[in-house]
Each structure stands twice: as structure tokens, then as C-alpha cells.
Amino acid sequence: MKTANKPVSEPLVHVVKRDALPLWKSLLIRVLAVVAALLFCSLLSVLMIHANPFEFIDTMFDGSFGSSRRLWKFAKDAAVLLCISLAVTPAFRMRFWNIGAEGQTLIGALSAVAVMIYLGNKVPNGVLLILMFIASVTVGAIWGCIPAIFKAKWQTNETLFTLMMNYVATGLVAYFLLLWTPSGSSVLGELSVGHLPAIGHDYLLLIIAVLVLTVLLYIYLQYTKQGYEISVVGESENTARYIGINVNKVIIRTMLLSGALCGVAGFLIVGALDHSIATTTVGGMGFTAIMVSWMAKFNPLIMIGTSAFITFLDQGAAQITTNFDIDSAFPSMVVGIVLFFVIGCEFFIGYKPKFRQNIHKGGKA
Amino acid sequence: MNKQVALEMKQVSKYFGSLAANKNVDLTVYRGEILAILGENGCGKTTLMNMIAGIYYPDHGSIFVDGEEAIIRSPKDAFHHGIGMIHQHFKLVDIFTAAENIVLGVNDGKSYNIKEVNRRVGEIADKYGFHVDPKKKIYEMSVSEKQTVEILKVLYRGADILILDEPSAVLTPQETDRLFEILSRMREDGKSILIITHKLHEVMSISDRVAVLRKGEHIATVETASTSPAELTEMMVGKKVELNIDRPEPKNVTDRLEVKGLSLTNPEGIKVLDNISFVARSGEILGIAGIAGSGQKELLESIAGLSHPTTGEIIYNNPKTGTAENLRDKDPVAIRELGVRLSFVPEDRLGMGLVGNMDIVDNMMLRSYRKGHSMFVDRKKPRDLANRIVAELEVSTPNTHTPVRRLSGGNVQKVLVGREIAASPTVLMAAYPVRGLDINSSYTIYSLLTKQKENGVAVVFVGEDLDVLVEICDRILVLCAGRVTGILDGRTTTKEEIGLLMTKTEVKEESGNENG
Amino acid sequence: MEQFFASFLDYFLTAFALGMTFLYGCTGEILTEKAGHLNLGIPGIMCIGGACGCLALKLMSGAAVPPVLLVIIAILASFAGGAIMGVIYCFLTVTLKANQNVTGLAMTTFGVGTTKFIMSDMSSAKEATQSYLYALKYFRYPFGESGSALVYNGFMVVLAIVIALAAAYVLNRTRVGLHLRSVGENPATADAVGINVTGYKYVATCVGSGIAALGGLFYIMCWSGSCDAYKSIEKLGWLSVALVIFTLWRPNISIIGSALFGLLYLAGNRIPTLLGIQFDMSVTKLLEILPYAVTTIVLIVTSVSKKRENQPPAGLGIPYFREER
């Protein structure tokens, strides 16, 4: 036991926690990570599709900003993603790992469609829209607060719970689709009722609504008592108890809000864009939203940027698939790779590797 | 006497951020000796030992084992060098059995057989007279059983150098005696034992030599036989400390808070508070003394409305309305709504009293954010308060928007105490308010408490340093194993008297033996 | 009655065989979670496993190698693909201490996308009538072409069970297993007794990811035998994650659990014919929710009962940093 297996070398690197990094430095690290990621992707594309890197970058930009049509699509996609990202944010600030935005949004959308199908043509469009909104928000909130209740009462693991709820929601949508499509095709065509009015451009109302929501949520989280309580609960439940915050109440209230916001997203998708529903209506955005929110450090205003960034990647890469005739799965590869870089770079903001200065050989020759 | 050097530290330093936990420490440990590592809270004792045990890696300097440089970058390396540490906070896997925990990490080349391990653990336990069931799960164990498992863990590995971090803190005196007997036996066996402690009587009774640390620096290592507690204290605190804390006579004393027959059973079913009764009076400082974990935390949390007692009453006499209110089973908000101005400085500053990642302003709001009917928080008043506290209590911080986590211990405490006092309380409870603070900050806190007392506040002060308690308190309540063993006059009592009451249950038994 | 039994047996065996897809994923995820890492990248990793195996077969097509070797190469490629994904996940979450949920989800995005990229290229290729499926017969019919589902799904069924039993044995009866569980329960403790926490996390996650990856290969080459099968792997992957909870982190129970999930997954298709009744089509969709609903109920029941042995590993999802103060 005494001197067996004596290690001879000192650790070259050991990791220490950093004191706060100035803002510009942390931003620089993130920007460098994104640049490195894009370089890596363009290198990959050189190898796979024999395009030169400049062409790659150029096409990426072309995909989102190349024409006014693309620009609008870009803005619309970013807005929808932003909306779902807003929805997950209150829960995350509370360190409640809600990965069920996919299901909460879908169930919200389903409720809106249900209202359209059962009440369409029976009530005026305005009333219908209001009812759709109420249905989406209510059902989304209920869906979101079920795991919260169990978390509050019995510490049921919310990550796994909300994950499961996603697929229950998908299954419900599949069920209702069969119910609503007489042919059994499961494909629901566009419904003619319950459209949100278009102002200026088809997507403009949606975009404005989401931006307003962003500002409202920012104010809620930053400047209201409830927002402050969310932060306290997220940072330390003990402190929350100490100052008399009812932790369970805050958890449930916040998840009601999260779920309701997902419901709003579902309502907007149905009312302003799809006018229909499929099991893929949310299309993984519930998961992407988690990354958008996390990258923005749960700050709604910064999320405008991060959601735009992810959408830019997605759309740019999609443009590459068209221009270079490669498979349409390319965008998700690019997004995945860039995310790896961005996730990885956070380490260098929070920690710093420290190299041993006096490197000398220890032990015996 | 030809002493063989077992372990040597040369010029070892360790930094946390910009804070030096240890600075150029030299330390020599011989075979077959018990070396006490003595120092105040926060002097870097544990950090230093953690570097020997491989938990931390030194930023500078080297460690030699048996005369050869040893690179201890992990606990595994430490084990290879025959070094084992028993931590103050037990490092056990709750859902494992005792034996599983003991054998964890041991790779003796033999195939793994839990029955064989159970047998060998039983053997070792019998040899030293420990009582432990190798198949019992840790989560079903009491604190002292857990410590037994920790010690067995190191014994099982046959370590030559043992480090014990304040081992007696959780033990009864008999258990401590038994432990010390075992340690003496190990010393005779040629093992080196390092004990981290701040209890002088333990140092004097068991150690061969004492190494004194102060503010991360090694002050001196002396032979126990040729030193005295007074000399050690002097080295520990630097200069001979005449505490000289101002203690004005209480004025306008009235009963403010009456605790009657309070009992509390914790979720594990252990009675942590047993029929506690006392009165806290306005214009007085009531000290609470006791071994760590005697129910101090539970008592304060029960009064503050954070835990719910099983029986008893907590009566608050409202000086404004003259009414008496029972605070029992009311949460902190309900207590506040009754008009009870109760301030509480908890033991866990960053984990309970403050939010580490929030700045000073946002931490000021913790108490007051609910004020007013607006749904928005008002940050103006908290900002003014933050500025005032920073200026008045001389908190050293870049600005009021620095997260409190980045402040030093003393400054964190100033922020917390400052906030609690700013609520102009009628009752102020403070748990270990000077723990880990330097002398200057400690005095700031003492004078703040005394000033509150002069303002007619009923101050409840939970302390661990008896010298301070007898100098600052008007009355001292002594807790032992969840029961009140005495309430003494702070002006006439002695440390010895308090010390006796702190271990009263055992004293009774022992005196019984003597009589018989 | 006899016919009922025959068709029930067929239903059961088919479900059992399908369940092996979950079993691979579940065993892999259990190993990862026992090391304290919730890897939500498992669906992506299973996809990648399928894709890498097929890619290897495509590259080998036409080469004169014995079928046994061909199968082994495919399995190794699949395992390697998963393990590489595991290395990326570990590098981000262990070494760089990134958030596990976010990293896992990014892994799934990347894995599913990359798989589609690899597979759609292959399945659209006309040459050699879908390049890799020629190896199908070595995977599916090593014991002859006829027989029940269990037989025609070949040796990978056995392999899955063997791996699950081996994992259960290692976890509960060996020193390595004890150490691994301690890493997931309380990394600081494991570290303090000299267990290489980072090493265990890496190895457990990479081996786990490799095993999960085999599930993807199994599904394409054994269960479905169709080049479009890769499209459903993601969905099955999430069921694997659910199965981990359902079986309370025990690989041996998950053998039964996987069969049950198989039964539930196929219930919509099989139960009507089995009972000779005609369900409305939509009801079958509701039956498909069952595995998730049942898992949720198990999750709730275990958390309400608070039995310590049935809880998730205590260190699950929490990054470990030794010098944390």
C-alpha cells in the first residue's frame, strides 16, 4: 500500500472556477465558438458536397436573407420558436426542467383545432378566435401543471415526467385526427374558420404578438414580485422557505404560466399559420426551444437573438440542401454541430483550465 | 528518540479565486505520533488536510511521503501513499450498506465478494470494539454509526497516515473517549494521526505535538507537553485577546418571547427538541450555548416559522398592541402579518439567509419585496438600503450589483446582519453570526448586536465560542441533546459551568458511577 | 381456443422480439444513468447505431468476407458509432460540465439528422437493390427462414438478453458495479475513496451508448428488414428512455419490461385480431399512448412511495466538480 503505483507526473492541467468574466469577454468566447462551428461545418460541407467554404457561408446567408419571401419565412419561424422558448423560460429560471414544451404546445394547438371543428360556423369568427385562445391557454396550462403538482407534492422527477407527457400529447393528437378525418387518412386539411386576421403581411400579426409577449415576459421575470419569487426559488429553496415563500405554490403557478404560454404558441401556430394540426405540427421545436432559452441564459430579450440564430442555421442549411442537392437532413446536422460548440464554450466562461507553471519531472528515473 | 518522518509539506499554497486558503505552509508529521492541527474556524485547517488527502491540489509547493515527493492529485493517490481522511461531512453513499461503503474503492486484487467483506468488517469492528452491522443501510443509521463506518473505511484500507476532521463534533464524550483510546492504540502501532480541531482540551489530552494555523499560515508546531492552552490560544488568535466587549446593563426589560414546552421530532423520527422553555427579554442578549447539533438550529427555525413543532407554544408579546400571539405553526409570512418584527440571521448564510447569485440590492429585497400592493417590485428602497449598509458597515465590494457569492465571509455576514437589523426588529435571532469571520468583522457584529439590545430588541445569540458568550450575553441558555440543561446569568457564570451543562446527560451518568 | 393461443403466442413473440430494440436502448441508458448522467441523446444514438451498421455493410458490399465476419463488422461499426456519440456527450457534460438536458437534446437533433442524411442516400441508391439489405439474411435467418418471430429475429435477440443480464450482474455483483453505482449516487464520496469518477462516467456512458446503438441496428436489420425503418427509431428511442424509469433502473427487470412495452406498442394492431373484435381505428392510437402513460404512473408511484432503492440515482443530472466549495 505504501508506495505502490507511485504517480510520477504532476497534473498538467487542473480546472478552477472563474471569478466573473467581463461581459465583452464572455461574448467574445461565444462568438468565437459560433465562428469555429461554422468553419467546421463549412469544412464538412467541402468534404461532403465539394462546395467551397465561401459558397457555404454565402448560401447560409442567402437562405435566410436572400429574398423578401425568405426573410418573412425566417422571421415567422424565428417568432414561433421564440414563442415556445418564452414558454419554457419561467420554469427554467426556477430550475424546473420542463422538457415537455413539445407536448404542451401540441395539446394547446389541438384544443384550438377542436374549437374550430366543433364551433366553427356556429359562432362569429371573432368569438371563435377568443374561444380558441381560451381553450389553448387553459389546456396548455393544465397539461403543464400536472407534472408540477407531482413535483411539488412528491418530488417526482419533472424531467422524465414532462418527457413522457410529450408522447401522451402526440398520441392524443393522432387519436383525434383519426376521429376527425372520415377517410381515416389522419391528414386534416386546412380549416376555413378561425383564422387570425392578417395585418400588412400574413405573418406580421404573429411576429408582433410574439415580440409583445417577449417584452411582457421580460418585465414579468425582471420587475414583478412573482418573477422575483421564481428567481429565489430557482436559486435556493431554503432561502425561499426562510423568507416565507410557499415553494409549492410558486412551482405550480409558474408551470401554469409555462403551460399557458405553450398554449399561446399552439394557438398562434393554428390560428395564424397552419389552420390545421398534425402530430408533427410542433416538429421538435419544443426541444429546440430549450436550447434557445438556455443559450440566452433564460433572458427573454436575448432569446430574440438566439432564436433568430437557430432559425438562421436551420434555414441557411436548408438552402444548402436545395442548392447543392443533398438530403434535407443537413440542417439538423448543422444545428447539432453548432450547438455542440456553443454548449462546449460555456465551460470556458464559467471555468478556466490552469496549467502548472513549474513543470519538472518527479519521481525516479 | 529517533523519529522517522512520515509526511512533509513544503511551502504549500492553495488559492480559491483570489483568496488564499493556505499560504506557504511547512508541516512535518512523524511516525507514531498524534499531531493536532489547531486553528480557528476558517484558518485553512481543512483545506490543508484536503490537499494531503487529494481532494484539492496545491497551487504551489510540494508534499513528501517517506522522504519522496508525492503527487497527490486524487484521493486514490492518497490511498496509495497510505493516507486516509475521515471527513467532517460524511462521504457515504446513502443507499449502500455499511460494508459496501467500506469496501468502496478498495482494489486488493481479490475478486469481489460481499459476504467476505461483511466478515472482515465484522472482524475489524470487533477488534476495536465498534458496534456496527455491516449489512445496515447508511440511510437507516444514526450520526455516530455513520462516523464508525467512516473510521472503519480507513482502517479497512490499513492506512498509515490518518486525518480526522473534527471527529468529536458529533460524538458524545464517551464515544469521544473510546475513539481517543483507539487512536492511542494506533499510535503505538506506528501510525501517524492528524486531528483537526479547535477544542483545546482535546489537543492537550491526546496529541503529542500541535501545529497551529492562523489565516492560512502555519504559525508554529510545538510539543504538547511543553505548551499550555494559554500559549496555544495566543498563537491561534495572534495576540493575547482581551475581548473587552462592551456589555451595558439591560434597560426596560420586558418579556418579549416566551417559549413553553416546545418539542420537535424530525422526519427521521428523532426528538431534536425536548420540552424547551425559556423567555427572551427585550433589552437583553440571551446566549444559547451547546455542542454543535444540540438543537440550536431547530429551535431558531421553529421560532422563525420554518419548522413545525410537535408540541408547545411560542408566545410573542407585542409591544405596540400589548397582545400576546402564539406563533406556533405560522409560516414566516403569517408571523410578519401579525405585526411581529422577528429577524433571523441563519447559520447557513448563502444557502438560506441570502441568495449567492443575486446582487446586494436583490438580496436586500428578500425581506421587503412583498410590501405594497403593486405587482411590481420596488428596487429603489432596497438600493438605498444596500448603499447605506455598504457605507455604514464598511462592506468591501466593487458596488452594490456584485453577487454576494463573490464577497468574503465577513462581508457576506455584514450584508445579512445589516439587512436583518434594517427591518427594525423587536426580536433578533442570530445563529453563529461570527463563524468564519476575522476578528475585526466579529467585533463589528458584536457591537451591532449590543446596539440592538440597547435599542430594546430581544436578542438571541447562538454562539460556539464560550469566551464570547460570557462576555456579551446577559443570560445564557445551555442546550444539550435538545433539552435545556440550564439558564445562567452571563455576568456571574464561568466557561467551566457552561461546559459542564453542555454535556450534562453524560455528567449525570458519570457522577452516578462515581457514587456507586 | 387453440387458434387463440397460437395467435397470442405469435403476438407475444413478435412483441418480445420488438422489445429487444427497447432493451438495447434501456440497458445502455441504465448504465449511463447509473453513472449519474441523464442522456437524452439515446434516441439519436440509436439512430446513429443503425446508420453506422448499415454504412459498414454498404462499404463491405461485394467484398469477399464470410457472413459471420460481415455481421460482426456491422455490429462493431454500430457499437463504435454509438460509443463515439457517447464520447462527444461525455466530453461536453463531464469534461466541460455542460447541462445534460441541453446536450442530450442536441445529440438527438444531431443523431437523427445525421442518420437521415446517411440512410436516405443509401436507401435511394438503386445499385445492388439497396446496398446494405443484402446482409439481411445473415442477421435474420441464421437459424433457417421459417419459424416464429423469435427465430427469424436471429441471434441479436439473444445478444440483447445476454447484455442485459451481464449488465445486471456487473451492477449488482461486482466491484466495478459497486463503484459505478457510487459514482451515480454520490460522486464526491466515490472521488474521496479514490474512484476515478471521470473515468467511470466516460466508460459507462460510452459503453452504454454503444449498447443502445445496437438497438438501432437490431431494429433495421432484424426486426423490420426495411430501409425506411430508420425513421421510427427516434420514437422507439424515447420509449427506451421511458423503460429505464419503468424498470426502476434494473436491467434484469427490463427484459420483462421490454416485452411488456412491445406488447403495448403492438396492441393497437394485434389485439383486435386476437380477440376477433373490430376496434375503431382511433382506439388503436389511444393504445399507443399506453407505454408512456404506464411509465408516468410508475414514476408517480415510486416517488410517492419514497422507497429509497427505487429512486433515480441521487446524482442524476448534477455535474460534478471536485473543487466546488
> Is B336 within 8 Å of A244 when comparing Cβ atoms?
yes
Q: What are the Cα distances from residue B25, in Å, to B47, B82, B218, B219? A: 11, 21, 5, 9
Task: Tell me which of A275 and A49 has the higher pLDDT.
Answer: A275
Among B406, B321, B352, CA closest to B19: B406
User: What does the block give as the cell for B16?
Assistant: 480559491
Percent of chain A whose predicted confidence (pLDDT) is above 90: 43
pLDDT band at B35 (very low <50, low <70, confident <90, very high): very high
Cα dihedral sign, C69-C73-C76-C78: negative
> Is A167 within 8 Å of C292 when comparing Cβ atoms?
yes
Beta strands in chain A (DSSP E): 13-17, 351-355
Per-residue pLDDT reduced to its tens digit, C69-89: 888 999 999 999 999 999 999
Task: Tell me which of B207 and B130 has the higher pLDDT.
Answer: B207
Among B247, B270, B170, CA closest to B461: B247
Residues, chain B, total? 516
C289, C295, C302, C322: best to mutate for the A interface, most A CBs within 10 A: C289
CA distance A361 to chain B (A): 11
* Residues A158, A149: Cα–Cα separation, whole Å: 10
The pLDDT assigned to A201 comes to 81
Query: Is a pLDDT exceeding 90 seen at residue A303?
Result: yes
Which of A101-115, A319-333, B453-467 has maximum average pLDDT?
A101-115
Q: If you measure CA to CA, which chain B residue comes closest to A241?
A: B306
Q: Nearest by CB to C309, from B95, B104, B153: name it.
A: B95
A88: chain C residues, CB-CB within 8 Å: none
* Residues B251, B254: Cα–Cα separation, whole Å: 9
Torsion, Cα of A131, A135, A141, A144 (10° steps): -150
CA distance B341 to chain A (A): 13
Domain ranges for chain C, please list them.
Answer: 2-306
CA distance B248 to chain A (A): 32
Beta strand B285-289 pairing with B458-462:
parallel
Q: Which residues contact C8 (CB under 8 A, 6 or more apart)?
A: C274
Q: If you measure CA to CA, which chain C residue comes closest to B97?
A: C178
CB C49 within 8 A of CB C212: yes
Arithmetic mean of pLDDT, B414-442: 86
Per-residue pLDDT reduced to its tens digit, C252-261: 999 999 999 9
> Is B69 within 8 Å of A362 when comparing Cβ atoms?
yes
The pLDDT assigned to A9 comes to 44
The pLDDT assigned to B319 comes to 84
Cβ neighbour number for residue B514 with a 10 Å cutoff:
7
**C residues 270-309 closer than 8 Å to B (CB):** 308-309
Task: Tell me which of C124 and B62 has the higher pLDDT.
Answer: B62
Mean pLDDT score across all residues of chain A: 85
Per-residue pLDDT reduced to its tens digit, B228-250: 877 887 777 665 455 677 788 88
> Is C38 within 8 Å of A159 when comparing Cβ atoms?
yes
A13, A14, A228, A352: best to mutate for the B interface, most B CBs within 10 A: A228
Residues, chain A, total? 365
A292: chain C residues, CB-CB within 8 Å: none
Domain ranges for chain A, please list them.
Answer: 67-307
* Residues C20, C218: Cα–Cα separation, whole Å: 8
Q: If you measure CA to CA, which chain A residue comes closest to B332?
A: A244
Q: Nearest by CB to B81, from A3, A235, A243: name it.
A: A3
> Which phi-psi region, left, alpha or beta, contains residue B343 (left: φ > 0; alpha: ψ -120 to 50)?
beta
Query: Is a pLDDT exceeding 80 seen at residue A273?
Result: yes
A341: chain C residues, CB-CB within 8 Å: none
Query: Is a pLDDT exceeding 70 seen at residue C128?
Result: no
Among C262, C236, C258, CA closest to C10: C262
> Is B66 within 8 Å of A246 when comparing Cβ atoms?
no
> Which phi-psi region, left, alpha or beta, contains residue B17 (left: φ > 0; alpha: ψ -120 to 50)?
left
As a whole number of Å, the CA-based R_g of chain A is 24
Return the DSSP state at B494.
-
User: What does the block give as the cell for C99?
Assistant: 447541462
> Is A294 within 8 Å of C304 when comparing Cβ atoms?
no
* Residues B150, B101: Cα–Cα separation, whole Å: 8
Return the DSSP state at A279.
T
Task: Tell me which of A54 and A219 has the higher pLDDT.
Answer: A219
Long-range contact set of residues C271-278: C-beta below 8 Å, sequence gap at least 24: C273/C7, C274/C4, C274/C7, C274/C8, C274/C11
Per-residue pLDDT reduced to its tens digit, B89-125: 788 998 999 999 999 888 777 778 888 889 989 888 8
At residue B141, φ and ψ (nearest 5 deg) are -100, 155
The pLDDT assigned to B79 comes to 83
The pLDDT assigned to A4 comes to 37
SS3 labels along B382-449 = HHHHHHHHHHHCCCCCCCCCCEHHHCCHHHHHHHHHHHHHHCCCCEEEEECCCCCCCHHHHHHHHHHH
CA distance C161 to chain B (A): 24
The pLDDT assigned to B507 comes to 38
The pLDDT assigned to A348 comes to 84
Arithmetic mean of pLDDT, B256-266: 90
Partners of C109 in the beta sheet? none
The pLDDT assigned to C193 comes to 80
Percent of chain C whose predicted confidence (pLDDT) is above 90: 42
Q: Which residues contact C72 (CB under 8 A, 6 or more apart)?
A: none
Which burial class, exposed, middle or buried, applies to B486 when counting CB atoms under 10 A from its CB (0-12, 13-18, 19+)? middle
pLDDT band at B194 (very low <50, low <70, confident <90, very high): very high
User: What does the block give as the cell for B242?
Assistant: 482581551
| Domain B242-341+425-516, CATH number (from 3.40.50.1980, 3.40.50.300, 3.40.50.170, 1.10.10.10) | 3.40.50.300
> Any idea which of A38-52, A316-330, B240-254, C141-155 has the lowest mean pLDDT?
C141-155
Look at residue A217 and give its three-state secondary structure. helix
Query: Is a pLDDT exceeding 50 seen at residue A42?
Result: yes
Question: How many Cβ contacts (< 8 angstroms) between chains A and B?
Answer: 106
* Residues B329, B321: Cα–Cα separation, whole Å: 21
Per-residue pLDDT reduced to its tens digit, B334-388: 888 888 889 999 988 888 889 988 889 999 988 888 888 888 888 888 999 999 9
Per-residue pLDDT reduced to its tens digit, A133-159: 999 999 999 999 999 999 999 888 888
Arithmetic mean of pLDDT, B23-35: 92
CB B77 within 8 A of CB B54: yes
Which H/E stretch holds residue A82?
helix A68-93
The pLDDT assigned to B240 comes to 44
* Residues C136, C152: Cα–Cα separation, whole Å: 11
Domain ranges for chain B, please list them.
Answer: 5-237, 242-341+425-516, 352-423
Cβ neighbour number for residue B182 with a 10 Å cutoff:
17
Per-residue pLDDT reduced to its tens digit, A162-194: 988 999 999 999 989 888 887 767 788 888 888
Q: Nearest by CB to A167, from C103, C238, C300: name it.
A: C238
Among A354, A350, A355, A337, CA closest to A33: A337
* Chain position carrying cell 518522518: B5
Return the DSSP state at C224.
I
Partners of C14 in the beta sheet? none
* Chain position carrying cell 459471420: C68
Looking at this predicted complex, what is its ipTM? 0.83
Beta strand A351-355 pairing with A13-17:
antiparallel
CATH superfamily assigned to domain B5-237: P-loop containing nucleotide triphosphate hydrolases (3.40.50.300)
The pLDDT assigned to A359 comes to 41
Per-residue pLDDT reduced to its tens digit, B471-513: 899 999 998 878 898 899 988 887 777 777 776 654 344 333 4
Arithmetic mean of pLDDT, C269-274: 78
pLDDT band at A25 (very low <50, low <70, confident <90, very high): confident
Arithmetic mean of pLDDT, C44-54: 94
CA distance A296 to chain B (A): 17
The pLDDT assigned to C258 comes to 93
List all chains that touch chain C, counting a touch as 3 or more CB pairs closer than 8 Å.
A, B
Per-residue pLDDT reduced to its tens digit, B139-150: 888 777 888 898
